[in-house]
Chains A and B, each alone.
Chain A
Amino acid sequence: MSAQLIFLAFFGAAAVWFGVVVFRTHSMVRSAIALLFSQTAVGVMFLLMQAEFLGVLQIMMMATEMSVMAIFMVMFMMDPGGMGAMEMTHQKRLSLWAGGIGLVAALAVIWLADWGPAAMVIPAAAEQTADLGRELLGRSMFIFQSAGLTILTAMVAATMVAIAPETEHAP
């Protein structure tokens, strides 16, 4: 039992628990915060698995995203504070079943597959980053560029959608 294992287990459980909290709480803000914590736990797992760059990236990005989400939550929710304790779910059973099936199928694969020998040699963090950089600007340049293009398009589209047209009567 290595330390990595224990911490992985702990932060994994935390991520999962916080994920559950997201959907169990009535307060919107708390859902957003819980999700933040869940993503952060995932980032810590990354760090644990010696993917430092990714871990840091995860934590940073998710923090920002979840904050934005909290704002939007407050904007669009009927009861952001969750004071009304209204049931905001539908097709609950179906969803439970879907989640359950997904979980079970994945677990089955995980526990029954033969993953092969563990890798022992992990490149250093700096080396990882350098390799990543080379990868990014070398082999995966096309992917990166298309991703960039996609992001640009998405930003434009989102902006367009978000801007209220002048002619339509405002709500």
Chain B
Amino acid sequence: MTMLALTLLAPLLAAGAILALRRALGLLVLTGAGLGLIGAAGLFLGAAGGDPVTATLPFLPSFPVLLLASPLTATLSLMVATVAAMVLVYGIGYMAKDPERPRFFATMLFFIAAMQLLVLAGDWITLLAAWEMIGFSSYLLIGFWHSRAGVAEAATRAFLYTRSADLGLYIGAFVLIGAAGTSEISATLNTTGTPALIAGLLLLIAAMGKSAQVPLQDWLMRAMAGPTPVSALLHSATLVAAGAILLIRSAPMLPGGALLAIGLVGGATAVIAGLIALAERDLKRLLAASTASQYGLMLVAVGAGAPVAALLHLIAHAAIKSSLFLGAGIFQHDRDSTDLAALAGAGRARPGIFAGFAIAALALAGIPPLAGFYSKDAIIAAALQSPAAPWLLPLTLAGSLLTGAYMGRAMRALWSGPAPQSARSRIPLMAAGMMVLVLLAAGMGPGFATLEHLLDGALPEAAPIVPILGLVAGVSGLALGWLIAPARLLGPLMGPAQNGFRIAGGMDGLVARPARAIASACAAFEARLLAAQIGMIRGIGLGIARLVERSDAALYAFSLWIGRQNLHLGNRARWTDTNRIDAAIFGLVARVIAAGGRARRLQSGFIHRELALTFAGIALVTGVLLAAPYFL
């Protein structure tokens, strides 16, 4: 469990730390890669010991995330971790002067974590998710120098081409899940019959996309626009391996028809891609075409019914191709170009690097005792023994021949030419990373036997003719490549080969342009929808504003009316106060004054009046007194 966690989480956490801290990059990168490597080694040892490590994480209700470290997956994991570690070491040196290093290393580490997840996936859902993640990382890494001309477009195109093929994986995986009822890969491998055939063909389509098989090989050439460490890691050993890994893991399920198809596709790729490689003028593009060709050979092995052979070749190829790419990177570092014409004599300037390059090239051509010899012989043996031998064997041999040819050509181009006497820059890290991989490429061969035992896979019995055939093909190819120029070698095929064997407008016309047209149509439609929406909203808004304005005017008029009524009321009150109340009061006052005046007349001073009043008063009092008894 800890090993699993280490393998998966170490690179991921290192990526996060790099993005967050943006300092001590070398340390973080090496820590992440190193811990991942330790984890993978632990897994491999554990699986080799006999008990596969599994882990289950809850996810969807009936589709939990399964991680499986069986001998097969643990081997692959170890391969990924090793190549990744070495490439990262190389990368620290290669990207030393680039200002965007944190982004580079973080994305690389993220890719490594995603690749490990894909390799260790135990269920289809996880595998699908990891498949997507590595595709996305590839896009980010190919387009790393997106400010340069053409790079962003190359990354987009590569992404589009592989994506179009990924559909196969989706449908195939869902077919298998539906047939088996569970998403666990090992359970679905028991599917038989029509679902298996359909699933197999669909998986083949996915593998064709990811592993750059014909007719989808062009994206790999475009992917060379990225930094060389990216090419070394992704586009030689890991990402493109995903297709082959998919087929190797599902090999037990694949029925005969699917196998035949796989073998034919692989064989065709091996030849066509080899021709393209031979005609190439750019070293990295040459190596990219070579990669496609080698994966074609792996597919032939799977199609021939020997997935173990394909696995061996995959591992060997990983070490070989990555070291070739690292060497090309060093030469690129020297000459600032990967054009073969520009690189003339670059190998002479750095003999040590060229020696490593040559070793790896010879290994690829299948020269014993290098690793490529063993794996290539296994493939040839498988092709020989397969039911479709008449088809597969010639294709395999032609592929081996072409391998030698273009490798010879590359070596010749690097060696022949004036060696500049200027001082070379010191490249300790890059050299170290490359050399480890070269050593692996050279010395892995003998270990393949133990690996066979580990994987419980039966390699086909190697008839004595097999090594001879392989050797002949490899040596003759090398000689042809070294001695004869490609134009003369290829003859009438030179033109199409240089063109990349484009048919019917290629992927551009079949996939990219239609996709782009649909995208722009959708954008226009959406713009119109938006405009309509905005128009509607604007209409509603204006309507509401008008309504509000009218109601506001009404309210204002109403308030004015209230004001006038108030004023009216006020005037009435004032009028009432002045004319009624005041009048009443003043009237009362006047009357009281008048009454006072009248009362004053009583005080006339006249005695007779007083007497009269006296009499009146007496009469009144008398009357009251007399009448009182009757009323009280």
Contacts and interface: CB of A to CB of B under 8 A. Distances in A.
Chains A and B share a contact (CB less than 8 Å): yes
Interface of A: 90-91, 94-95, 98, 101-102, 105
B612 A94 contact: yes
Interface of A, secondary structure class, is helix
A101 B616 CA distance: 10
A95 B619 contact: no
A24 B108 CA distance: 156
Interface string B596-632: 0000000000001100100110010000000000000
A98 B609 CA distance: 12
A98 B614 CA distance: 11
Given A91-B608, A91-B612, A101-B619, 4 more contacts: A90-B608, A91-B609, A94-B612, A102-B615
A32 B608 CA distance: 20
A98 B608 contact: no
A102 B612 contact: no
B619 A105 contact: yes
A102 B619 contact: yes
Nearest to A94: B612
Contacts of A91: 608-609, 612
Contacts of B616: 98
A101 B609 CA distance: 17
Contacts of B615: 98, 102
Contacts of B619: 101-102, 105
Q: From DSSP, what is the main secondary structure of chain B's interface residues?
A: helix
9 contacts: A91-B609, A91-B612, A94-B612, A98-B612, A98-B615, A98-B616, A102-B615, A102-B619, A105-B619
A91 B616 CA distance: 14
Contacts, number: 13
Contacts of A95: 612
A123 B616 CA distance: 39
A102 B611 CA distance: 14
Interface of B: 608-609, 612, 615-616, 619
Contacts of A105: 619
Nearest to A109: B626
Contacts of A90: 608
A97 B619 CA distance: 13
A91 B609 CA distance: 8
Nearest to B616: A98
B620 to A, nearest CB: 12
A55 B312 CA distance: 183
A95 B607 CA distance: 13
Nearest to A99: B615
A91 B611 CA distance: 11
* List of 8 A-B pairs having minimum Cβ-Cβ separation, nearest first: A98-B615, A94-B612, A91-B608, A90-B608, A98-B612, A91-B612, A101-B619, A91-B609
Contacts of B608: 90-91
A130 B612 CA distance: 41
Contacts of A98: 612, 615-616
A101 B608 CA distance: 17
A90 B612 CA distance: 12
A8 B451 CA distance: 183
Nearest to B615: A98
A91 to B, nearest CB: 6
A44 B612 CA distance: 31
Nearest to A91: B608
A98 B612 CA distance: 8
A158 to B, nearest CB: 18
Contacts of A101: 619
A59 B391 CA distance: 193
Contacts of B612: 91, 94-95, 98
A102 B612 CA distance: 12
Contacts of A102: 615, 619
Nearest to A101: B619
A18 B609 CA distance: 25
A111 B615 CA distance: 22
B39 to A, nearest CB: 144
A109 to B, nearest CB: 8
A94 B612 CA distance: 8
A98 B613 CA distance: 10
Contacts of A94: 612
Contacts of B609: 91
A3 to B, nearest CB: 35
B339 to A, nearest CB: 155
A95 to B, nearest CB: 7
A101 B615 CA distance: 11
A73 B615 CA distance: 25
A90 B609 CA distance: 10
A164 B315 CA distance: 170
Nearest to B609: A91
A105 B618 CA distance: 13
A49 to B, nearest CB: 25
Nearest to B622: A105
A52 B608 CA distance: 36
A95 B613 CA distance: 11
B618 to A, nearest CB: 10
Nearest to A97: B612
A162 to B, nearest CB: 19
A101 B620 CA distance: 12
A149 B604 CA distance: 34
Nearest to B626: A109
A132 B288 CA distance: 175
A91 B619 CA distance: 19
B630 to A, nearest CB: 14
A102 B608 CA distance: 17
A104 to B, nearest CB: 11
A98 B615 CA distance: 8
A114 to B, nearest CB: 15
A13 B608 CA distance: 27
B602 to A, nearest CB: 14
B613 to A, nearest CB: 10
B193 to A, nearest CB: 149
A150 to B, nearest CB: 20
A94 B619 CA distance: 15
A102 B615 CA distance: 9
A126 B619 CA distance: 39
A2 B612 CA distance: 40
Nearest to A89: B608
A87 to B, nearest CB: 14
Nearest to A90: B608
